[in-house]
Amino acid sequence: MRSGDARDAFLNATPTVLLCSVPLLLAAVVGATVLDGGFVYDDPSALAHNPIVNGQVPAWEAFTRDFWGRPWSHRFTTWRPLTPILWAGLWQWFGGDPLPYRALSLLLHVATVAMSMLFVYRLKPSVGRTAAVGTLFALHPLNTEAVSAIVAQADMLSFSLVLGASTIALGSQTVRTGVLCALVLLLGTLFKESAVIFTPLAALLLLLRPGRPRARWAATLPVVVVGVVVVSFQLALPRAPGISMITSNLAYHAEGGMRLLLGLHNIGRALVMTVWPRPIVPNHGYAALELQPDVLIPCATMGGVLLVVGLVTGAWAIKRHRLDWIAALSFLYAPALLQSHLLIRLITDLAERLLYPSTLGISMLASAAIFHFLRRPAMRVGIVGACALVFFAASYSARRAWTQEDALWTYAVRTEPRAAIHHHNVSNTYFRSGELALGAYHRLLHLYLLRRFPDPVPWELVDATESLPVTERFTEMPAVLSPDDPCGLIRAFVAEARQYEPLYEHILRHWPQRYPSCGPWPDR
């Protein structure tokens, strides 16, 4: 190539390279937002206290233990062996310093955005649309937990491999391609089992492109086999008992029509959050969500409508062999269907980290709409840029909350004050900071919610005490919540409080005179 031709090729390629670099830079900025954070929420259990990670047992035992390092004899909550093995390697080099793990989250988000852009470009070679998808995906507020919680690296690793498998499926329709696609998909399920929900997508990408029918089916067969094997294996694992009570998961208590209503509610809530992700919190569950028709019906109606829309649109896309629409709908709907609990009951009501792929699906659909309805490049750039600014500004405080345990739970209970687990965890925050009155109130409310689970909560009684000072609120709460028998709640709370002496002393300063019949109280 002559020097002039090389220069022209470089100049022509430079805008494309710069444009495609923007989403990667934005993904790095999102990861850097929490780079100074520590181990938060599930991170200590998954890493610092995990014998596989901290070297108490050999790394290969990840295949005979659950994700949290508990042995086979304790039965399983989740089995995803490659993630603890990866962390064990980092632990050998860096120990308990959270910075390298935070840096890994940043790199994984950048890598997943890069893989998404490669896949989108292979589907529809448009640099502008690819950059738009990457930008919206990189900054979507709903990926806050997936990028900010170290434990959610399993989600990013598995989804990046799903994207790799899907990109491979767009190659030649040969048995070799199918085997390679299946192996990459299998690798993704070993980081997190939820990757298996995208098996149908990989199969459709192999089947629906032009080619000889026998070659297409031969390439698809390995993918189907891997999907069946993974699902069968996961369903056959002995599951640990009591998971529903540990997580206050309503799915284990909903039956018949109520389970269907809850499932449609979760579908609707998940899909709506991809467009309007409010509130962004660590838990969406009891008692923010209750098994009451009037609570469930609004989102359940939306979920039913959107499910029908998705099925009709998906059928159209399959009939027309629109692989871009098939992929976008798969990414958007599959995590929502998984969290509906209609197919299988999960251990969480609604987890934002599982919706990480959904943010790519909605980004693909939004970008398609922008490029279809707006013809001027400047208008497209303006809309995508405005969305990017709103996304980052709207999620910044939620992302920063993930840097510290105390910041996370004070943010969570302020943003979603009805979730039971928020009250338990924020009480620990207040105890650590010496704010005993606040800690006692939130711990009492958590115990009340736990004792009431899964029944609906009369929130009007709780809200009626908002105007009282926190100490008076704590004192009056048993009589307000259980006017016929405050002693039951009091005795249960006293029994729990004996494990923490300052809390027990706080009780003795405020309850004996108010509830003398709930004793015996010690003389003071």
Q: What is the pLDDT of residues 33-62, one digit of tens each?
A: 999 999 999 999 999 999 999 999 999 999
Angle at 275 between CA 116 and CA 17, to 5 degrees: 30
Average pLDDT over residues 414-433: 94
**pLDDT at residue number 519:** 81
Range with lowest mean pLDDT among 203-217, 238-252, 294-308, 324-338: 238-252
Q: Say if residue 243's pLDDT is above 70.
A: no
Write out pLDDT tens, residues 103-119. Answer: 999 999 999 999 999 99
Average pLDDT over residues 51-77: 90
Number of neighbouring beta carbons within 10 Å of residue 244: 16
d(CA 142, CA 417): 19
Q: Do the beta carbons of residue 39 and residue 98 sit within 8 Å?
A: yes
Omega of the bond leading into 287 within 30 degrees of 0 (cis): yes
- Phi, then psi, of 75 in degrees rounded to 5: 70, 175
Q: Say if residue 66's pLDDT is above 80.
A: yes
**pLDDT at residue number 74:** 77
**Which string of DSSP letters, residue by residue, matches 166-215?**
HHHHTS--SHHHHHHHHHHHHHHHHH-GGGGGGHHHHHHHHHSSSS-HHH
Range with lowest mean pLDDT among 73-82, 163-172, 467-476: 73-82
User: Tell me, what DSSP letter sits at residue 85?
Assistant: H
Is the full-model pTM beyond 0.85? yes
Write out pLDDT tens, residues 328-352. Answer: 999 999 999 999 999 888 888 889 9
| Closest CA relative to residue 310, chosen from 363, 362, 261, 349 | 362
Q: Say if residue 317's pLDDT is above 70.
A: yes
**pLDDT at residue number 10:** 37
| Closest CA relative to residue 304, chosen from 337, 331, 330, 328 | 337
Q: Say if residue 327's pLDDT is above 90.
A: yes
Q: What is the mean pLDDT of the chain?
A: 92
Residues in the chain: 524
Write out pLDDT tens, residues 160-197. Answer: 999 999 999 999 889 999 999 999 999 999 999 999 99
Number of neighbouring beta carbons within 10 Å of residue 11: 9
Omega of the bond leading into 454 within 30 degrees of 0 (cis): yes
Average pLDDT over residues 241-256: 71
Average pLDDT over residues 442-463: 92
Q: Say if residue 11's pLDDT is above 50.
A: no
